[in-house]
Each structure stands twice: as structure tokens, then as C-alpha cells.
């Protein structure tokens, strides 16, 4: 039933499969450890490329999270989506057997979907012909396989969609899931992102456009948001899913509430496929729209989890955009960019970072910007360095910016 009164939306579950840890506790333990998971890529030999670094998930076994038969029917991107969703539902202690499945839905985001698996199967085709190709290929590689397989696995029949809006995809999915609950289209939503891009052609495409770091002799320090010596992002793989739930029912069932989702903003630079608009105006517009949607004034934001991709153009442009939105309050903000921990998992990054924001609110601790040794003079805000910071924050904003000029922001509040 559509609601004409905005309903409150709680985050009651976090599921994550990342290079720094699996599950809600694994992710937070990885953040508290303060160490980068970036290393030399091992999935294949990267020596033909300028970049050799990646953030790989070290210990993922799909059959730990789903039946072996289902695991075999999914590629890695689909497996990660289902696994993160299961972990989120378990963390939320949500018994779907007691739910109206038509009021439970799934929104996912991914930049590349199953393209890495398609690349693998093309190799099989070239070597062994059509008979060597997985007959389920067509069902594995399209982006919508993320949310559709989550729906099939858990029998949820509510609103369902997967977007493919580059590196903002996970944030957009959570924003859309938030709106579905807020506006009465669903009572519970799974929202997040999944990305498994570590295959030669996928990886090489980004190497060709010189978007990735070439700090190959020191991979753990290759991703360094806002640092003057940054030279590009580090590709990673990950999935993260949140359980978003109508507030009153979450309270009634005694659910743990990490945070409340308050607002969502979206914009487009309409400028360039890879370079951000230099004046940061549309990145600022996404933040402004999220704040307006949340009915929160800029001075009420305590912490910003920045997109912080570690690329030469993105980091200073994001700084400009934040100053544009927050004016004098920008100097009082606490900020961090967390991709130094786990690289950039493209469409899953925003979901990972929203999960971290929810955890930071609940745990009253803000993560540092790993590898920020010498801040760029153009990145002159309080990007937390060194150790994390104990802090009780009320309102948090998180940004995700993607190729094509996509900008997405979310506002969270202490639950």
C-alpha cells in the first residue's frame, strides 16, 4: 500500500563480503585494524598492464552461504550478492517465513555485472567451441541477475531492480530501497551492491585509460585518498547488502537498529564520461538534494564518508563540492575516505561505505583515511588521518560518484 506519509526507515541488518572481512563483524574488525587489503593481483598475471594491484577477497567459498547446486548456477558476482544478502538477513534476525513476501523486495547495484564471467566463457568458446561454454551463461551475466537471484534464493516477491550506474550503483540501490520502504511500496528491502571485476579484459580496460594506480612496488599503499602522491584507484571486489525496514515494525520486533536512513540525492554532471565537472556543482547538488530530502541543514552533519577514489581529479573536486555545500561548516566536518582499506569495488563500493557509516554511528568511532600521509593542498578539510577517532555523531552523509558523471548521496541519522 502506497503511503502518503513518509515512513521512517531503519537499517537493521548488514551483510558484507569484502577484502577486509566477511559479515558485519568481519567488516568492522577490518576497519578497526586500520590495514590495507590491497596486494599484487593473483587472480591472473597482470604483468602486461601498467597496474598490478588489486583488493581481492581472500577466503570466499560460495557453498558456505548457499547450496552447492545454486552456487554452481551463479557466477562470482551473483554468488557475492546472494551471500551478502544472507548475511544481512541473519544479522537482522529476520525470519522471512513470518513475512508477507510480497512486501519484501531487493534493490542491487553493479557497474559491470557478470562481464568477468562472460570474458572467461569467451576464452572457453575460443578454445573448445560452443560446447565448452556454460549453458547458463546468458542467465549469469546480465546486471539484473543480482537482485533476481537474491529474490529467488529468499523467495521475496516485492519490488525488485538492479541498476548499473557505474561506481554510484550501490548507493543508488540503497537510496531506491529506502524510498520503497519510506513511500509504502515495501515493508522490508534488501539494498546493496555486488562487483566481481577481476578478470583480464575488465581490469585491462581501466588500465588502458590510466585510471588505476601504478604503485606496484608497494601495493598496500597504492590507494591513498586525498594524498598528494595518489596516482589512481585500485580495483577491488566486494558485496554489501543492508536490510532496510519500516521503523515501527523494526522497533516492535526488537530489532537492533544501526541507524536511520533519512535522505537520498542524485544528480549528473552531464560533462564527461570519466572526468568530474571541475566546479563540483553537480556533486554538490546530489548532497544538497540528500540534505533537503532528509530535512537536515548542512551544519547538522557531523561526518562525511567521502567517495575518495584516490584519483588525481576526483579527490580535489569532491573537496570543492563539499565546501560548496557546507560553506563555513566544511572546516568543522570530520571526514574520511575508506577505499584505502579495500580498494574500489566499483558498483559495490557505495554499499560497503554506507554499511561502514551505519557501523560508525552505532560504534561511535570514525575510521581514518588509510595512507593519507601528506594531504594534497587542494584537499584541505579534516580528512581523518592516522588513528580512527572516537566520536558520537548524529548525522552522517556518504558520497558515491561514478563514471558518466553520476553523483549519489545518502544521509543517515543515529537510530
Torsion of CA 27, 29, 33, 37, to 10 degrees: -30
- The CATH class that applies to domain 263-414 reads alpha beta
CA quadruple 28, 29, 30, 32: dihedral sign = positive
Q: What pLDDT, in 10s, does the model give residues 166-207?
A: 999 999 999 999 999 999 999 999 999 999 999 999 999 999
* Local structure of residue 183 (DSSP, 8 states): T
Q: Which of 316, 312, 315, 283 is nearest to 397 (CA)?
A: 283
Contact status, residue 289 vs residue 383, Cβ threshold 8 Å: no
Is 202 tagged catalytic? Answer: no
Compute the distance between CA of residue 345 and CA of residue 22 in angstroms, rounded to an integer: 15
**Among the options 167, 202, 357, 379, which is catalytic?**
167
Q: Do domains 9-252 and 263-414 have the same CATH topology?
A: yes
Q: CB under 8 Å to 55, separation ≥6 — which residues?
A: 19, 36, 37, 38, 39, 223, 234, 235, 236, 237, 238, 342, 343, 344, 345
**Environment class of residue 349 by beta-carbon count within 10 Å: exposed (0-12), middle (13-18) or buried (19+)?**
buried
* Helix (H/G/I), strand (E/B), else coil: 385: coil
Residue 3 has pLDDT above 90, yes or no: no
Residue 226 has pLDDT above 80, yes or no: yes
Is 344 tagged catalytic? Answer: yes
Query: How does 248-258 read in b/e, with b if 16+ C-beta sit within 10 Å?
Result: ebbeeeebbbb
Q: What pLDDT, in 10s, does the model give residues 139-173?
A: 989 999 999 999 999 999 999 999 999 999 999 99
Q: What pLDDT, in 10s, does the model give residues 66-90?
A: 999 999 999 999 999 999 999 999 9
The CATH superfamily label for domain 9-252 reads Thiolase/Chalcone synthase (3.40.47.10)
What phi and psi, each to the nearest 5 degrees, are found at residue 360? -60, -40
Residue 5 has pLDDT above 90, yes or no: no
For the chain, give every domain's residue range: 9-252, 263-414
Is 52 tagged catalytic? Answer: no
Residue 405's pLDDT band, with cuts at 50, 70 and 90, is very high
**Among the options 52, 65, 344, 395, which is catalytic?**
344
Mean pLDDT, the chain, rounded, equals 97
* Helix (H/G/I), strand (E/B), else coil: 146: helix
* Local structure of residue 250 (DSSP, 8 states): H
CB count within 10 Å of CB 218 equals 11
**Among the options 52, 65, 307, 395, which is catalytic?**
307
CA distances (Å), origin 93, targets 87, 243, 280, 359: 10, 10, 41, 17
Q: What is the structure's pLDDT at 1? A: 61
pTM of full prediction above 0.95: yes
Q: Which of 304, 315, 112 is nearest to 223 (CA)?
A: 315
Amino acid at each position: 500500500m502506497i503511503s502518503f506519509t513518509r515512513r521512517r526507515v531503519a537499517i537493521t541488518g548488514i551483510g558484507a563480503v569484502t577484502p577486509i572481512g566477511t559479515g558485519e563483524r568481519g567488516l568492522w574488525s577490518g576497519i578497526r585494524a586500520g590495514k590495507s587489503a590491497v596486494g599484487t593481483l593473483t587472480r591472473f598475471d597482470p604483468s602486461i598492464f601498467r597496474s598490478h594491484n588489486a583488493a581481492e577477497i581472500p577466503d570466499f567459498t560460495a557453498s558456505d552461504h548457499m547450496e552447492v547446486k545454486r552456487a554452481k548456477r551463479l557466477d562470482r558476482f551473483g554468488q557475492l550478492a546472494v551471500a551478502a544478502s544472507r548475511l544481512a538477513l541473519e544479522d537482522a534476525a529476520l525470519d522471512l517465513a513470518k513475512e508477507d513476501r510480497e512486501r519484501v523486495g531487493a534493490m542491487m547495484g553493479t557497474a559491470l555485472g557478470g562481464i568477468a564471467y562472460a570474458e572467461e566463457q569467451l576464452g572457453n568458446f575460443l578454445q573448445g567451441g560452443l560446447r565448452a561454454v556454460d549453458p547458463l551463461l546468458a542467465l549469469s551475466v546480465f546486471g539484473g541477475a543480482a537482485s533476481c537471484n537474491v529474490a529467488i534464493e529468499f523467495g521475496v516477491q516485492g519490488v525488485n531492480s538492479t541498476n548499473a550506474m557505474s561506481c554510484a550503483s550501490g548507493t543508488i540501490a540503497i537510496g531506491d530501497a529506502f524510498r520503497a520502504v519510506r513511500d509504502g511500496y515495501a515493508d522490508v528491502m534488501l539494498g546493496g551492491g555486488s562487483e566481481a571485476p577481476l578478470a583480464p579484459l575488465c581490469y585491462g580496460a581501466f588500465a588502458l585509460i590510466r585510471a588505476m594506480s601504478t604503485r606496484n612496488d608497494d601495493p598496500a599503499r597504492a590507494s591513498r585518498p586525498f594524498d598528494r602522491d595518489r596516482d589512481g584507484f585500485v580495483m577491488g571486489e566486494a558485496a554489501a547488502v543492508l536490510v532496510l525496514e519500516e521503523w515501527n515494525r523494526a522497533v516492535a520486533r526488537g530489532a537492533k537498529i544501526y541507524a536511520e536512513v533519512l535522505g537520498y540525492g542524485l544528480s549528473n554532471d552531464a560533462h564527461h564520461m570519466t572526468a568530474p565537472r571541475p566546479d563540483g556543482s553537480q556533486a554538490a547538488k546530489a548532497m544538497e538534494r540528500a540534505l533537503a530530502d532528509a530535512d537536515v541543514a548542512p551544519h547538522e552533519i557531523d561526518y562525511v564518508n567521502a567517495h575518495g577514489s584516490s584519483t588525481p581529479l576526483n579527490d580535489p573536486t569532491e573537496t570543492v563540492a563539499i565546501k560548496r555545500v557546507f560553506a563555513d561548516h566544511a572546516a568543522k566536518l570530520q571526514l574520511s575516505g575508506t577505499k584505502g582499506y579495500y580498494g574500489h569495488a566499483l558498483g559495490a563500493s557505495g554499499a560497503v561505505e554506507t554499511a561502514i557509516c551505519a557501523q560508525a554511528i552505532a560504534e561511535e568511532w570514525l575510521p581514518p583515511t588509510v595512507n593519507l600521509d601528506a594531504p594534497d593542498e587542494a584537499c584541505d578539510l579534516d580528512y581523518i588521518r592516522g588513528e580512527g577517532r572516537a566520536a558520537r555523531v548524529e548525522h552522517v552523509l556518504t558520497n558515491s560518484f561514478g563514471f558518466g558523471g553520476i553523483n549519489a548521496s545518502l544521509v543517515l541519522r543515529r537510530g
